Amino acid sequence: MDPLHDPEPAADADTIAALATAVGGPIAIIRLSGPGAVATAAALWRGQKPLDQPPYRTLHLGQVATAEGTLDNQVLAVFMPGPHSYTGDDVVELHCHGGALAARRVLLELLQCGCRHAAPGEFTQRAFLNGRLDLTQAEAVADLIAAQSTAALHLANRQLAGVLGRQVNGLYDALATDLADLESRLDFPEEDLDWEAAPAVRERLEQTRASLEQLWASRHQGEVLRDGVRLVLAGPPNVGKSSLLNAILGRDRAIVTELPGTTRDTLEEWAHVRDLPLQLIDTAGLRDDSPDPIEQCGMARSRESLQTAHVVVWVFDATLPYAPQAWPELPTPAAVLLVGNKRDLADRLPAPPPPPAGALLVSALTGAGLELLFDAVERLVWTRPQAGDSAVAVSARHAALLAATLPALQDASERVGTQDWELAAVALRAALADLGRITGRTADPDLLHTIFARFCIGK
Ligand code: GDP
């Protein structure tokens, strides 16, 4: 078994170790976490200060070596005792020389000294299991690493600070109090206690439901910021789609020629426009009469891209009469922007052809009109509920759980209205179970596996 590539499933009493930095960089940080972290590191540590003596949380200079010889003669080591560490366990970090091999050898030696290689996200999973983070904060760690724009970074930082978790937990606590109230009514049906009137209970449930619905409405913003916007450049051959891709990127990425049919495959690149992460997709030009089987394959891919796009920029040549029959054949669920390119040439024509209604005119060559195009993309992306810079934006996972919570809560509220307390309690319990999965108050191993599997090893 290769100890570096076959991590065992999590077991809390284990000490885990992994490289926390990308392989090949100038410095490599090896992380150890668990009850044996300091003893394992101490087995290799040769420094003036022993790692398990104070001062803690201080970098010490030393070497790491085995009986056979030195592995790295200049290492900085730090010991962060639990529970006040990232994972909540004892944590040691060794800052070694980087490169492809050196730190890997140190890690292999540590794995011989009684710890095991960490699974993806296992350090953060331990932080969650030790109560250092709730699940939304743990997810924010992965979002932070994956953030493609400043806005996405801000969102991840706010979530990591616990803004979303606190909101969800507050609403959870309110519902849990209501459930306790419903259950007492069931436990003491004969008692003549001074119960709150049904309409007041219902009103409170409705308020909580409205707050949860507001959170649910932030899912579009969350999706855009986390996953970006898929913007597909499509249109007939030679209208300037590849030139437009290059102009938006600000560099020559796609091949541009005056020969029609050069782009035979879809080409994808990330760009940031007005802090929007855009996944730009340049597609093979669509035409009916290509005899070339490779170009036909490319066109099939173009059509597929149109199906998964958020925004389609349908490019046409502004110097030629617009052929409206070209695009209605292409059903796409995306919002479509009509963009006439080569405006620089069209402007020089004595009688430029009239552009179709709603079209924008741009020039990929001079950059004219690009800002208007960006305005239009921004408007399309944010004209959904809860647009703008709200403090939180839920992810697809949170949205799915909220989508399950909301109808259960609606049901509970209606049952309270008819004073059907028992069924109201059943519905409220179901709502709480789903809501609790957002922050991890109710979490099963499958849920944790799904969340932490998307992390990298060492995080
Ligand atoms: P595609 O097949 O739609 O991707 O088109 P290309 O980007 O390969 O461009 C086709 C031809 O049009 C090339 O010769 C480009 O230099 C030219 N072209 C593209 N955009 C412009 C523009 O805005 N102005 C002018 N004058 N020429 C352009």
Among 241, 246, 256, 345, which residue has the most ligand 1 atoms within 8 Å of its CB, making it the best to mutate? 256
Look at ligand 1, atom 11, and give the residue with the nearest C-alpha.
Answer: 258
Instruction: Tell me how far the alpha carbon of residue 230 lies from the centroid of ligand 1, in angstroms.
Output: 22
Q: Is the pLDDT of residue 298 over 60?
A: yes
Q: Which tokens is 251 given?
A: 């560099």
Instruction: Tell me how far the alpha carbon of residue 260 lies from the centroid of ligand 1, in angstroms.
Output: 10
Q: Determine if ligand 1 sits within 6 Å of the CB of residue 241.
A: yes
In 3D space, the residue among 62, 27, 304, 272 whose CA is nearest the CA of residue 151 turns out to be 272
- First and final C-alpha spacing in the chain: 23
Instruction: Tell me how far the alpha carbon of residue 238 lies from the centroid of ligand 1, in angstroms.
Output: 6
Angstrom distance (rounded) from CA 31 to CA 38: 11
Average pLDDT, the chain: 87
User: For ligand 1, what atom is nearest to the CA of residue 245?
Assistant: 7
Q: Is the pLDDT of residue 8 over 50?
A: no
User: For ligand 1, what atom is nearest to the CA of residue 262?
Assistant: 2
Instruction: Tell me how far the alpha carbon of residue 379 lies from the centroid of ligand 1, in angstroms.
Output: 26
In contact, 281 and 266? CB cutoff 8 Å: yes
Angstrom distance (rounded) from CA 412 to CA 329: 47
Matching residue, tokens 């904060």: 137
pLDDT tens, residue by residue, 353-368: 998 888 999 999 999 9
pLDDT grade for 388, boundaries at 50, 70 and 90: very low
Q: Which residue has the higher pLDDT, 254 or 16?
A: 16
Please name the CATH architecture into which domain 3-133 falls: 2-Layer Sandwich (3.30)
Instruction: Tell me how far the alpha carbon of residue 243 lies from the centroid of ligand 1, in angstroms.
Output: 6
In contact, 116 and 46? CB cutoff 8 Å: no
Global model pTM greater than 0.95: no
Q: Is the pLDDT of residue 35 over 70?
A: yes
Q: Is the pLDDT of residue 1 over 60?
A: no
In contact, 231 and 151? CB cutoff 8 Å: no
Q: Determine if ligand 1 sits within 6 Å of the CB of residue 285.
A: yes
Look at ligand 1, atom 5, and give the residue with the nearest C-alpha.
Answer: 240
Q: Tell me if residue 267 falls in helix, strand or coil.
A: strand
pLDDT tens, residue by residue, 394-421: 999 999 999 999 999 999 999 999 999 9
- Residue extents of the structural domains in the chain: 3-133, 138-218+392-440, 227-381
Among 232, 238, 244, which residue has the most ligand 1 atoms within 8 Å of its CB, making it the best to mutate? 238
Q: Is the pLDDT of residue 284 over 70?
A: yes
pLDDT grade for 381, boundaries at 50, 70 and 90: confident
Q: Determine if ligand 1 sits within 6 Å of the CB of residue 262.
A: yes
Average pLDDT over residues 433-441: 94
Q: Determine if ligand 1 sits within 6 Å of the CB of residue 267.
A: no
The CATH homologous superfamily to which domain 227-381 belongs is P-loop containing nucleotide triphosphate hydrolases (3.40.50.300)
Average pLDDT over residues 51-59: 93
Residue 331 has a pLDDT of 65
Q: Determine if ligand 1 sits within 6 Å of the CB of residue 247.
A: no
Angstrom distance (rounded) from CA 279 to CA 275: 12
Render 354-371 in DSSP notation, one character per residue. Answer: PPPTT-EE--TTT-TTHH
Q: Determine if ligand 1 sits within 6 Å of the CB of residue 228.
A: no
Angstrom distance (rounded) from CA 172 to CA 431: 9
Q: Is the pLDDT of residue 201 over 60?
A: yes
In contact, 202 and 375? CB cutoff 8 Å: no
Q: Which tokens is 356 given?
A: 């179709």
Instruction: Tell me how far the alpha carbon of residue 291 lies from the centroid of ligand 1, in angstroms.
Output: 22
DSSP state of 334: S
Q: Is the pLDDT of residue 90 over 90?
A: yes
Angstrom distance (rounded) from CA 138 to CA 117: 20
Residue 330 has a pLDDT of 60
Angle at 431 between CA 414 and CA 189, to 5 degrees: 55
Q: Is the pLDDT of residue 11 over 90?
A: no
- For the domain covering 138-218+392-440, report its CATH number: 1.20.120.430
Look at ligand 1, atom 22, and give the residue with the nearest C-alpha.
Answer: 342
Look at ligand 1, atom 20, and give the residue with the nearest C-alpha.
Answer: 240
Average pLDDT over residues 232-257: 86
Angstrom distance (rounded) from CA 10 to CA 8: 6
Q: How many helices (H) and strands (E) does the chain have?
A: 15, 13
Q: Determine if ligand 1 sits within 6 Å of the CB of residue 363.
A: yes
Angstrom distance (rounded) from CA 232 to CA 302: 9
